[in-house]
Amino acid sequence: MKFFVDTADVDAIRELNDLGMVDGVTTNPSLILKAGRDITEVTREICAMVDGPVSAEVVAEKAEDMIREGKILAQIADNIAVKVPLTWDGLKACRALSQDGHMVNVTLCFSPAQAILAAKAGATFISPFIGRLDDIHLDGVDLIADIREIYDNYGYETQILAASIRSVNHIIEVGKIGTDVITAPPGVIKSMANHVLTDKGLEQFNKDWAKTGQKIG
């Protein structure tokens, strides 16, 4: 399972990247706003740091404008994946950009039917938003399972990129299903290391070591 980091915070990306925990990065307009930096500048810096795909999102709503913006974004670096929304115009843009040799991440997917269309349009990645489905009392993990089954049935090469990850449990559940990629905020990825029994065991080891009166080195 590949790990993409869902942020435009270069310091957070660098920390995880240095540990080998970054296979790619996803950004969106909200994350760019949070970073408070120019989109071209911050995206170029991220692309230089990370070897894998870096998703940069168009903001236009019409296909021709998405294509124009996508081509501009793709010029930032060779590892840009142009991010387009799962609308009819977004699918048109996906088709044009993918046929032009660009990686395309089709985002805001909420149904298996949408995922099929994205694969047919040549998407490199499909991004189902599982957390947002959970928010409206639907099981987002079930969506990943449905897409996995359909893609495997027909040999679609589009990679499933589980997005809107809210918890470590989300990562484990979609990993069991066989998602190709997860994208999550840095804090969620780092929290994978946490376990109450690890903390308890470490506390006991430290207490016992103190009683020995020894030092290492």
Q: For residues 90 and 61, what is the distance between their CA atoms, to the nearest angstrom? A: 8
> Residue 65: is it exposed, middle or buried by C-beta count within 10 angstroms (0-12/13-18/19+)?
middle
Least Cα distance to 52 among 89, 15, 92, 20 occurs for 20
Identify whether 215 is a catalytic site residue: no
Q: For residues 97 and 21, what is the distance between their CA atoms, to the nearest angstrom? A: 29
The number of angstroms, rounded, from the C-alpha of 118 to the middle of its chain's C-alpha atoms is 17
Neighbours of 131 (CB within 10 A): 15
Q: For residues 64 and 175, what is the distance between their CA atoms, to the nearest angstrom? A: 36
Set 2, 34, 62, 83: catalytic member = 83
Q: For residues 32 and 30, what is the distance between their CA atoms, to the nearest angstrom? A: 5
Where in the sequence numbering do the catalytic residues fall? 83
